[in-house]
Chain A
């Protein structure tokens, strides 16, 4: 049923790079500014907490035509806050993205739309008299497919998370390097605004 069940299918000239980064203020800016300065085009960038405290996992999809992935990797490594970089492009990986679509609909065509949602295994997360929100998880091709099917009805809003990815099997992109307690504490708080005493909460 799923139009593109094979999540590992990489799009043409795209690279999926996973970076384990220190969870510190300014890290996202350092990475983004590096990509801008070196002329590497980002297709998507997703960041969130990882399995290790103090470390975040960033999944970056790079337009391979804009830069050799080896340079992307090496330049990322030069950032002090980047702990580990893994290029998943040649790995057997599972890549997924989540999207929400707010689609125009009415009493007449709502059923059609629900049928389409069903085919794509999309969830209905909100419904109103003249609109519906669909939530879909899959690789980019699947989401593109759903978007295309919904276009005739009128897409009011589309929001996509960008790709996250994991290597199949036991292999990981994890970092196993605990820091000494004092230094871990320093890295956990360094540069963060002091909460409460100041008009800003922590970044």
Chain B
């Protein structure tokens, strides 16, 4: 055992946990850690421009790669700036490890300069957090935190270390063993329940699978495909579940929810059996709870027992990892054909093709997304912000693999796109990564463009610039009697901004310029920004108005289609 400082122990422990990248921002109390960083060349530090960016980058890194992302902030404002990012990862269950410094132990609780009770603040948005009061506690704290972060239902953790704990020396005592009496995730799935689920599947005439984020995090997309094909069950996904099932597959019927495909919503509403896998029946996905498909039977498979029965009663609850449960379920499921049921959905799709893009001389945002899909052969990693552009990116790009779409679903964090795309690009340096941004959200975190230049990351930024907070304008238009209040925004010249950061930029003003601009961006080696001046008043359709049921999904009104 060697004697190490707390700072060395921190980095040594992170390295042993397999951490190769930290997204961070220095400050007074973490200086001992920064002082030690050069001793650990195996850990790359990415200097962000705002700690919120660090948390989103760690999140994007995790979502794109499946590995734990690490962010670092100093005490006080550094720590509180991480909070939005931590909460984003909490709502979407992604493994983000937040490391913060705090004031010297003797000042804790005395309102010292830049003191914030960050463990108290993040209690309700982390799986667990640690305040480390002795250097010898560092290895096990980090080990336990990393374990909690990545196992069971993943989620963020936070480890807070006072400055003098970083500085103090102690014996470094690493132990592989962990023993958490209060943390024993159930991953196997109950055999009796799986049998009952198989019976229900074998009896069903209109079964549907709703696949969520848990399929992606459980690495169970292959197992899902096997089950769906064997029992001939149509598959729809949640918004975060996009990529869990190849959208080009015959059994794929898109995704459901507020802006989901009309036929996906109808299929969910008309099914006699819902097989919900790794999803949590969010209100944005299910519409008005009490009127969702009355009489449907639900098989709910989730690794978190608290999700089962939270919003909907499950006929068969199965607590476990999709990767373990699905093959056992497939084994007991009979090969079947649901020709009538699929024809019914096919017909709804034919009559209500939600993804048809109308002919128009305007630069429709749907057209931009579809062109991007065509130009990139559907292979790019797409990272979005929140709002209209997010929905169009979900609808009109067709995803073929898990982790291909990185988006903030649960918390709906505007400004997520650019830093998350940076994290995704750091995790997968060779993947073509597009940040699809709203003109509003982009301005919340645009300072991270500096990181693209620092690290020479070839992220392609596509701003969907309609001069509005588009979703706000859409809601004010539809539900507030067209009373547009603070929906319009005077935007800066995004191309000049990019130029100021040393990033190449192209303003795209006509439909004819869309494809050439995308081709040019793809050919460009470094980062590039495309400012798409999209049609200003296009709305996202279909739509389940807030508080309506899935069966009440409305489609684009005729007058809008005539625009």
Contact = CB atoms under 8 A, between A and B. Distances in A.
Interface of A: 21-22, 25-26, 29-30, 33-34, 37, 68, 70-71, 74-75, 77-83, 175, 177, 179-180, 182-183, 186, 189-194, 198-200
5 contacts: A22-B181, A26-B119, A37-B124, A80-B182, A81-B128
Contact of A71 (B134, B140, B304, B309): B309
B182 A29 contact: no
Contact of B133 (A34, A83, A175, A193): A193
A71 B306 CA distance: 6
Interface in B350-401: none
Given A80-B127, A191-B130, 15 more contacts: A26-B123, A29-B123, A77-B306, A78-B306, A80-B128, A80-B180, A175-B181, A182-B173, A183-B177, A186-B137, A190-B137, A190-B141, A192-B133, A194-B105, A198-B105
B128 A199 contact: no
B179 A83 contact: no
A82 B124 contact: no
A78 B130 CA distance: 16
A199 to B, nearest CB: 6
Contacts of A75: 306
Contacts of A74: 305-306
Max chain A Cβ within 10 angstroms of own Cβ: one of B109, B130, B131, B179: B179
A191 B162 CA distance: 11
Nearest to A75: B306
A179 B105 contact: no
A187 B180 CA distance: 9
Contact of A191 (B109, B123, B124, B133): B133
Contacts of B105: 193-194, 198
Contacts of B426: none
A130 B109 CA distance: 43
B120 interface: yes
Nearest to A27: B182
A33 B179 CA distance: 25
B127 A198 contact: no
Max chain A Cβ within 10 angstroms of own Cβ: one of B133, B137, B181, B304: B181
Contacts of B131: 25-26, 191
B132 interface: yes
Contacts, number: 84
Nearest to A190: B137
Contacts of A26: 119-120, 123, 131
Interface residues of B, number: 34
User: From DSSP, what is the main secondary structure of chain B's interface residues?
Assistant: loop
Contacts of B132: 190-191
Nearest to B305: A74
A80 B134 contact: no
A30 B124 CA distance: 8
B306 A200 contact: no
A45 B363 CA distance: 61
B106 interface: yes
A88 to B, nearest CB: 19
B151 to A, nearest CB: 11
A200 B182 contact: no
Contacts of A175: 181
Contacts of B181: 22, 83, 175, 177, 179
B557 to A, nearest CB: 38
Given A80-B128, A179-B179, A189-B134, A33 B106 contact: no
Contacts of B108: 193, 200
B175 interface: yes
**Cβ-closest 3 pairs across A and B:** A74-B306, A80-B128, A83-B182
Contacts of B148: 80
Nearest to A199: B106
Contact of A22 (B110, B123, B182): B182
B310 interface: yes
Contact of B175 (A29, A182, A191): A182
Interface in B133-178: 133-134, 137, 140-141, 148, 173, 175, 177-178
A34 B128 CA distance: 12
Nearest to B306: A74
Nearest to A37: B124
Contacts of B306: 71, 74-75, 77-78
B337 to A, nearest CB: 38
A182 B143 CA distance: 14
Nearest to B180: A80
Interface string B308-352: 011000000000000000000000000000000000000000000
B182 A70 contact: no
Contacts of B178: 183
Given A26-B119, A33-B123, A180-B177, A82 B130 contact: no
Given A71-B310, A192-B133, A180 B179 contact: yes
Contacts of B309: 68, 70-71
A182 to B, nearest CB: 6
A79 B182 contact: yes
Nearest to B178: A183
Nearest to A175: B181
Contacts of B305: 74, 77
B137 A189 contact: yes
B487 to A, nearest CB: 32
A190 B131 CA distance: 8
Contacts of A71: 306, 309-310
Nearest to A82: B182
Interface in B174-230: 175, 177-183
A34 B175 contact: no
A109 to B, nearest CB: 49
B123 to A, nearest CB: 5
Nearest to A200: B109
B225 to A, nearest CB: 30
Contacts of A79: 182
A200 B179 CA distance: 29
Contacts of A29: 120, 123
Nearest to B319: A74
B140 A186 contact: yes
Contacts of B180: 80
A81 B120 contact: no
Nearest to B129: A26
Contacts of A77: 182, 305-306
A97 B99 CA distance: 43
Contacts of B124: 33-34, 37
A37 B238 CA distance: 25
